[in-house]
Structure 1
Amino acid sequence: MTTATTVSRAEYCLIACADAWRDNGEVLASPMGTIPAFGARLAKRTFSPDLLLTDGEAMLVGLDGTPEGWLPYRQHLTMVSGGKRHVMMGASQIDRFGNQNISCIGDWSQPTRQLLGVRGAPVNTLNNPTSYWVPKHSARVFVEKVDMICGVGYDSAAAAGPSATRFHRIPRVVSNLGVFDFSTPGHSMRLASLHPGATVEEVRDCTGFALVIPDDVPYTREPTAEELRLIREVIDPGGVRDREVRA
């Protein structure tokens, strides 16, 4: 094992993202963002060798980025609708039940800021596991109620009925402060682990709603020596990870 002093915050985030795909089997990993992408590659190199990786366009790729198969858009959609995909998306806003917004800030009829748009978020969240990555945890992102629902949260899925809840699952939310899940009776967001160096008080101050916080919050696990070697020497020797998450 490594010691906490030798591991950067970005590396803890990368490990937490990689663990989102643990035991997923042969599914398409669709990471959005630098840290999630590195996490997916680490997972495939270690504990989830059956993961499928894509170049984001029309090819399945190997660990070195070499094309290994053709993945036309129609086949990609088949995998989505069949639940054979685990996407990790970003979130401009996310609330206590996992509703996510990447479309606009402010009232939909007259927003103060236009963002990406709804994109594939509803289809993703209703058909296959969807996790989230937030590189800068703040009360502007973790809000009491999102301005527009793009990714469907647990309360919204329940309100829509069995057709929405059948395949709906949000395994985890990873931020630069910790890991969060919805393993509570009412599916309200819970602090699952803290990245070493972060504190419960810091997480509370940077969250715009009341998190479920256990009495004893563990730290995000340490990377193994081999995982750390792969991160630093093979997956990201240039240290790009530290540009997305600074110490």
Structure 2
Amino acid sequence: MSRADVCVLACAEAFRGDGEILAAGIGGAITVLGARLARLTFEPELLTHDGTCLLTGDVPPLGEAPEVVEGWLPFRDHLWLVLHGRRHVMLGASQMDRYGNSNISCIGDWARPKAQLLGVRGAPGNTLCNPTSYWIPRHSPRVFVQRVDLVSGLGTDRGAADLRRVVTDLAVLDFRTPDGSMRLASVHPGVTVEQVVAATGFELTVPAHVPVTPEPTPAELAVLARLDPAGQRHREVP
């Protein structure tokens, strides 16, 4: 069992209880594996796709084409799912504040940024209409900041529909607080609360008891080994 395995399971748990909606992992192997692991274990009604426009009847390993195709998902139908809250997306972020406002557009002042990133892309619509979670592979004060330089994805203070959880290489965070600010939900095995607090650039809500993030069972590890035979998850979280 590795830290990457723990992170995949934590991402999979974000989809628990979703039922028959589209699970979309964006930004790396771990988010895709999380959605596929959830479907193959505790959330069999989840819809998964091949990364482009095919709904998959089976759940293939990373990099392999599905053997069973359940349907075609052109862009217009994908947008229908987004606008009607029928997709749970797991996004990435270059910056995030304590209310879950995220930035993937630029670092620095908008008029003259230090770095140009992706642009807001679909983050406003996703966060306004859909369940949304995040995967942050490097938990640091450069990512978790007091104020994002530009709001790409909406936080709980700006009308986000349903911010579920933020999974990082150190911990799981959520927004189950009276004011919708970020809370430390669990720390990964071998990580301390103090490490997470030091790596966060704003004040986290820290409960009196912070549990340890669950480790995958042998059965879940066997599923992961089939889904990721090349070990791409370990390159994302060494």
Bucket of the pairwise TM-score, normalised by the shorter protein: over 0.9
Shift of 1:54: 1.4
CA contact (8 A) 2:93 2:136 kept: yes
Distance in 1 (alpha carbons) for counterparts of 2:118 and 2:214: 33
Shift of 1:222: 2.1
Query: Which residue of the partner structure matches residue 179 of structure 2?
Result: 186
Q: Deviation per CA, 1:42-72, whole angstroms, max 9, x where unpaired?
A: 0010101111111232211231223321111
Aligned residues: 230
Unaligned regions of 5+ residues in structure 1, if any?
Answer: 1-6, 158-164
Equivalent position SS for 2:230: coil
Q: Which residue identity lines up with residue 236 of structure 2 in the other structure? A: E
Query: Which residue of the partner structure matches residue 8 of structure 1?
Result: 2
Equivalent position SS for 1:138: coil
- Choose from 73, 78, 81 the match for 1:79: 81
CA contact (8 A) 2:188 2:213 kept: yes
Query: Which residue of the partner structure matches residue 37 of structure 1?
Result: 32
Q: Deviation per CA, 1:206-240, whole angstroms, max 9, x where unpaired?
A: 100000001110001121211011112x1112211
Query: Which residue of the partner structure matches residue 42 of structure 2?
Result: 47
Distance in 2 (alpha carbons) for counterparts of 1:83 and 1:226: 32
Equivalent position SS for 1:145: coil
* TM-score, L = length of structure 1: 0.91
Distance in 2 (alpha carbons) for counterparts of 1:56 and 1:148: 27
Query: What is the correspondence of 1:93-242 to structure 2 with a 5 Å cutoff?
Result: 93-157=95-159, 168-232=161-225, 234-242=226-234
Distance in 1 (alpha carbons) for counterparts of 2:150 and 2:119: 10
* TM-score, L = length of structure 2: 0.95
Equivalent position SS for 2:23: strand
CA RMSD of aligned residues (A): 0.9
Query: Which residue of the partner structure matches residue 161 of structure 1?
Result: none
Q: Does 1:245 align with 2:233?
A: no
| Bigger mean CA offset, 61-70 vs 51-60 | 61-70
- Choose from 40, 59, 62 the match for 1:63: 59
CA contact (8 A) 2:5 2:215 kept: no
Query: Which residue of the partner structure matches residue 23 of structure 1?
Result: 17
| Bigger mean CA offset, 47-56 vs 106-115 | 47-56
Task: Give the percent of matched residue pairs that are identical in Structure 1 and Structure 2.
Answer: 57
Distance in 2 (alpha carbons) for counterparts of 1:140 and 1:100: 12
